Structure 1
Amino acid sequence: MPGWGRLHRWLGLTLSLWLVLVSLTGTLLFYKTELLQLKYPQLKLTEIPDHQDAARVFDRFDAGHAFLPRADKPWIEVVDVSGTHQYFNAAGEHLLSREHMGDWISWFVEFHHHLLLHELGKDIQGYLGLASLLLVVAGLVKWWPQTWSRRLFTIRWAWPWQKNFRATLWQLHRVTGVVLLIPLLILLITGTAIMYSAVVSDSLTRLFPEQHQVTSMPAVATEATSWPQRLRTAEVLFPEMEPRLVYLDRARIRFKYEDEWHPNGRSYMQFDPFTGALVSWQDIRNQPYGTQLAQMVYPLHVSAIGGVSLLTLLVAGGIALIVLPVSGVWFWLWRQRRKKVA
């Protein structure tokens, strides 16, 4: 199918640099905690702070948001209004300040999320994500064999200075795309869906509007005017939930229930900042099934579920999304050079 072949070739050449960079940064960010601890050894903490340790640190700040410590992030982390990340240990001692765009890890995060262009970058990421899905479909249609054999999945290795390297490039490109099709599709589909999260959530909610009330807001009198009081109240009222994130200027806590995929959860408890009264409660399990399904997209993309097995699969997919454009463009350049010689 020559039309699909031309579409695959020109989309590949157009998207190759973006695919390499966004896949490289995304694959490295699977190991963000390890990279932070490598660059900042003071973050290699052996004692994980508890919620009350964190709450006492939160009381020092009036704005921004903060993350509760957990096993994969064993520190207290506060993000102020300027975007600077402040890190503390269990004793409340300040360990580190990371300014927004102040190190290469922050640059990687911003590039992977927004191409360093804020909301405009998010829009561009969405368009490029859709184009990359069309690229994969075109490549699959172009490759689809009339007869199947083991040779379709064979790579005969040769080095660039050897005669058969052209065949190696072609086989590497073809086999990588086919063998690792599932993980690279997971990454591309979920990554694109994140860029269009509102549309995806609305569409899934329309498809699956059913909902089941599992919890309701307790009718209790509270006077939780400090973060230690708010977290204690939350743990008493909803022991099956784990607080993960707080909004410092809004007296709002975000929770994760035990079987929820999202690493920070999508349930909220809102206190009155002045009186300390509990004023609202939102449980993701009370939301329509489509809304709950939409909240599974991000955790799948970042391998927040599935343990080592899914992480290994998605890292392989990320590497495939680097190998494919490199091998494809290299093969195309080799052919162009041969045509000029001929």
Structure 2
Amino acid sequence: MKRIVILLHRYLGLLAALFALLLGLSGSLLAVQQLLQGETYPAPVASHAASPHYQVVLASLRASYPQADFTLRLPQNPADAIEVRVRQRQQPDQLLWLDPQFGRPLATPEGRGTGWRWLHEVHARLLLEDGKTWVGVAGIAILLVLLSGIIHWWPKDWRKAWRLRRDKGLAVWLGDLHRMLGASMLLLLLLSTLSGLVLAFNQPIRQWLSPAKHGQPRTGKHITPAGPQLALDELVARGNARLPQGRLSSISISARANQPVELRKRLDDELHPNGSTLIRLDPYRGTVLSVERTEQTQAWRKIGSWAQALHTGSLGGVWHQLLMVVSGVVLMILGGSGLFQWQARRRKQGSRQAAMVATRARTAQQ
């Protein structure tokens, strides 16, 4: 049985090694960036410090994208630019930065945040349209490699379990380091891998844990379009009046006339960095349709919030973020050292075969 586990670890590890290198490197760099700057996507700063005018921002967006859905991600500093994700049918999402008072597009300073956004797409989607699924598949492979590795490593003599032989050559030293790091960092690696798997397969988990139509945004069957919609600033004010606690983190506006405006808030006791409390309003009458603390009412949201907080290191502050940096570096070392051991084994086998052929040739000549 252990022989099967060893073969599984060896060959599955060979397939997962490149993903371990890529995800470990990108994840550790993103963790360092978050540790140093606090924001994954630093926004350009507007040239004034006045309160944002949401309706002006929305009007500017509607003039350019009349049939699009918008999500306005609001910065903690009201004077900073508003990040807007534009969604249109059969087109890739667009990311814009708008002046919070006048709705004018802001040019992101050259190089500022662009590389980090690209790196985040590499880590989360491998730059592929359905990349989250492939990241999840890679995560499953890495998980199996970790579990089979601990079985492979489990020693009969614990006095030899943590030895690092420096006098046997580079291949032996790297092999010992590979086993020691994998065993000593197993819990941290499992934490990082499992939380990443939850994020990669968030949608299937949501569908599995939620009954039909539960946890989905409410349809507009209770919203009857009647005249012009209220100004977005008025809707935000009514939502804040209904639930004054917490910080408003985003506003979602649909292009369909019978859909609610959705405000997202982060309350003090919520795990998700962007919050999980949703306030839905009738855009014509300003009526609050629902206030939903999804972390309390929906299991999938609670699991996703825990995974997000654990994977990004936002739960335990600086020390947690440092652990995520270490996790990425260790995963990268394990992938690289595993590939080196594979190559060293191939070279050793090739040398043995060459020696056997030479021996047979000499024997035949005699």
TM-score (norm 2): 0.73
- Per the alignment, residue 256 of structure 1 pairs with 266
Q: Partner of 2:225 in structure 1?
A: none
Aligned CA distance change for structure 1 residues 318 and 34 (closer, same or farther; 3 Å): closer
Choose which of 84, 93, 108 in structure 2 pairs with 1:78.
Answer: 84
- Checking the alignment, whether the CA contact within 8 Å between 2:73 and 2:84 is kept in structure 1 is yes
Measured in 2, the distance between the counterparts of 1:334 and 1:88 equals 54
1:233 aligns with 2:243: no
Superposition pairs of residues 34-73 of structure 1, within 5 angstroms: 43=44, 45=45, 52-53=51-52, 55=54, 58-59=57-58, 60-62=60-62, 63-70=69-76
The 1-side partners of 2:27 and 2:82 are apart by 24
1:24: how far off? 1.8
Could you tell me how far 1:97 is from its partner in structure 2? Answer: 5.0
Deviation at 1:34, TM superposition (A): 8.1
- For 2:161, which of 140, 152, 168 is the aligned residue? 152
CA contact (8 A) 1:173 1:327 kept: yes
Structure 2 CA distance for aligned equivalents of residues 25 and 117 of structure 1: 15
2:221 counterpart residue number: none
Aligned to 1:302: 312
Which of 184, 192, 199 is equivalent to 2:197?
Answer: 192
Contact residue 270 and residue 295 of structure 2 kept, 8 A: no
Is the 1:190–1:297 contact (alpha carbons within 8 Å) kept by the matching residues of 2?
Answer: yes
Q: Deviations over 1:241-277 (max 9, x none)?
A: 3211111335211112111111112221122233333
| Partner SS for 2:83 | strand
Instruction: Rate the CA distance shift 1:300–1:21 in 2: closer, same or farther, 3 A.
Output: same
Larger Rg: 2
Paired amino acid for 2:12: L
CA distance in 1, matches of 2:81, 2:36: 15
Distance 1:256 1:122, change over 3 A: same
Offset of residue 168 of structure 1: 1.8
- Structure 2 CA distance for aligned equivalents of residues 224 and 241 of structure 1: 26
Q: Choose from 332, 338, 344 the match for 1:322.
A: 332
User: Could you tell me which residue of structure 2 aligns to residue 245 of structure 1?
Assistant: 250
Conserved 8 A contact 1:75-1:90: yes
Q: Is the 8 A contact 2:23 2:328 kept in 1?
A: no
Note the C-alpha offset of 1:308. Answer: 0.7
Query: 1:68-217 maps to which residues of 2 (within 5 A)?
Result: 68-70=74-76, 75-81=81-87, 83-88=93-98, 94-97=105-108, 103-119=114-130, 121-149=131-159, 152-155=161-164, 164-201=169-206
Deviations 1:54-103 (A, max 9, x none): 635633323421111127x95421222353322246665643259xxx95
CA contact (8 A) 1:49 1:75 kept: no
Conserved? CA contact 2:83–2:97, under 8 Å: yes
Contact 1:224–1:230 under 8 Å retained in 2: no
Going from structure 1 to structure 2, the CA distance change for 1:94 and 1:36 (only over 3 Å counts) comes to: farther
> For the Cα contact (< 8 Å) 1:153–1:175, is it kept in 2?
yes
Identical-pair percentage? 26
Q: Is 1:254–1:268's contact at 8 Å kept on the other side of the alignment?
A: yes
CA distance in 2, matches of 1:236, 1:88: 26
Q: Quick one: distance in 2 between partners of 1:110 and 1:8?
A: 28
Separation of aligned partners in 1, 2:265 and 2:13: 41
Q: Which amino acid aligns with 2:247?
A: E
Give yes or no for contact 1:225–1:275 (8 Å, CA) kept in 2.
yes
AA aligned to 2:132 is K
Unaligned residue ranges in structure 1 (runs of 5+): 207-222
Of stretches 9-18 and 285-294 in structure 1, the one that deviates more from structure 2 is: 285-294
Distance 1:31 1:57 in 2: 36
Q: Aligned partners of 1:287, 1:198: CA distance in 2, in Å?
A: 17
Deviation digits for residues 267-292 of structure 1 (CA, Å, limit 9, x no counterpart): 21122233333223222255055652
Deviation per CA, 1:177-228, whole angstroms, max 9, x where unpaired? 122212211111111122222443466679xxxxxxxxxxxxxxxx982232
The change in CA–CA distance for 1:303 and 1:75 in structure 2 (over 3 A counts) is farther
Q: Distance in 1 between matches of 2:248 and 2:43?
A: 25
CA contact (8 A) 1:67 1:76 kept: yes
Q: CA RMSD in A?
A: 3.6
List per-residue Cα deviations over 1:109-129 (Å, max 9, x = no partner): 32322222223x232222222
Contact residue 48 and residue 69 of structure 1 kept, 8 A = no
Kindly provide the CA deviation profile for residues 283-315 of structure 1, in whole angstroms up to 9, marking residues without a partner as x.
Answer: 225505565244322222122211111111111
Q: Distance in 1 between matches of 2:108 and 2:235?
A: 26
Q: Contact 1:64–1:79 at 8 Å: present in 2 too?
A: yes
Residue aligning to 1:12: 13
Could you say which residue in structure 2 is the equivalent of 1:218?
none
Calculate the TM-score normalised by the size of structure 1: 0.78
